Amino acid sequence: MQNTHRNPLTGPLAALLAVAVLGGGWWWMEAGPPAPAAVPEAAEEVLPLPPEPPRVADSPDYEACLAQLRDDAQGALRVAEAWEARGGGDGARHCSALAMLALGEPERAAARLEALAGRAAVGPTARAAVFGQAGQAWMVAGQAVRAYGAFTLALALTPADPELLVDRAIAAGILGRLADSLADTERALAVDGTRVEALVYHAAALRRLDRVQEAMRDVERALALEPGSPEALLERGILRQLQGDTAGARADWESVVAGSPDSAAADMAEQNLALNAAGPARR
């Protein structure tokens, strides 16, 4: 009936790094817990949606509503709300929550997604995926505690899901729970040792624990797997800066900006380049 493959909102590095930028660069700048993320105006920009959301229903109306989200989130919300009023059930509730997220209402969307995941009459994998969507929406809303809780509920259903483990590791990092962050990224890497995002976030946690050499090994491994990874280059630049290699740091950050100019990593790299030019190293 349903597609139970988990697809995060845009993947942990795309969506959650975007939160890092919107929320003040919590992960790479170590500025403490983030302020609530700025949310775009619905009329100007919509937030990204999953390429293939987990299915909680099986009906043509549900598929049509999900398809409409791509180009007309406001219209999809109207359709979903009218459908829910007619008894559309979980499919209508899921589509309306995703539309709210796309329209810049992450807190409202997160609460609805979390409630839906708790009661949906689908298998554990699909429920875990919806809990994961709720967690990512809480992240966009700047509520890391709620996000951590949602990811934990998801992992109770699918304990070995490496994407969920990375997501929860990021939330733990925001909250300063670095040991928990390391543990989750290590669990993710035990499932799949080639996951670049897990290596990068593991490295970032190690750096914050002043374990710079170990962090550098993780980043070099990530770059061996994906040489152009903007997130890995961003992190390596920070590590190089900490080691006194200002030129190397600048080269990495400039590579991020040149190679992935529209990415959240590029935004962070530009901030770091500005700090680098302005004065002493900041981590």
How much is the pTM?
0.81
Mean pLDDT of 266-281: 86
Mean pLDDT of 248-259: 98
Integer Cα distance of 273 and 283 in angstroms: 12
Integer Cα distance of 198 and 31 in angstroms: 22
Mean pLDDT of 261-272: 94
**Contact present, 205 and 214 (Cβ < 8 Å):** no
Q: What does the mean pLDDT of the chain come to?
A: 84
Main-chain dihedrals φ then ψ at residue 268, nearest 5 degrees: -65, -40
Mean pLDDT of 97-123: 94
Mean pLDDT of 229-252: 97
For the stretch 9-39, pLDDT in tens is 334 444 444 333 333 343 444 433 333 333 3
Long-range contacts made by residues 35-43, C-beta under 8 angstroms, separation at least 24? 35/142, 36/141, 36/142, 36/143, 37/106, 37/139, 37/140, 37/141, 37/142, 39/104, 39/105, 39/106, 39/140, 39/141, 40/104, 41/104, 42/73, 42/74, 42/103, 42/104
The answer, yes or no, to whether residue 1 has pLDDT greater than 80, is no
The string over 28-44, giving b where at least 16 C-beta atoms fall within 10 Å of a residue's C-beta and e elsewhere, is bbeeeebeebebeebee
Q: CA of 140: how far to CAs of 31, 88, 122, in Å?
A: 17, 27, 26
What is the three-class DSSP state of 222?
helix
- Residue indicated by tokens 């590579």: 255
**Contact present, 199 and 215 (Cβ < 8 Å):** no
Q: CA of 158: how far to CAs of 123, 125, 152, in Å?
A: 11, 6, 10
**Contact present, 99 and 70 (Cβ < 8 Å):** no
Lowest mean pLDDT among 9-23, 58-72, 119-133, 194-208: 9-23
Eight-class DSSP state of 253: H
pLDDT score, position 58: 78
| Residue 43's pLDDT band (cuts 50, 70, 90) | very low
For the stretch 150-167, pLDDT in tens is 999 999 999 999 999 999
Main-chain dihedrals φ then ψ at residue 138, nearest 5 degrees: -60, -35
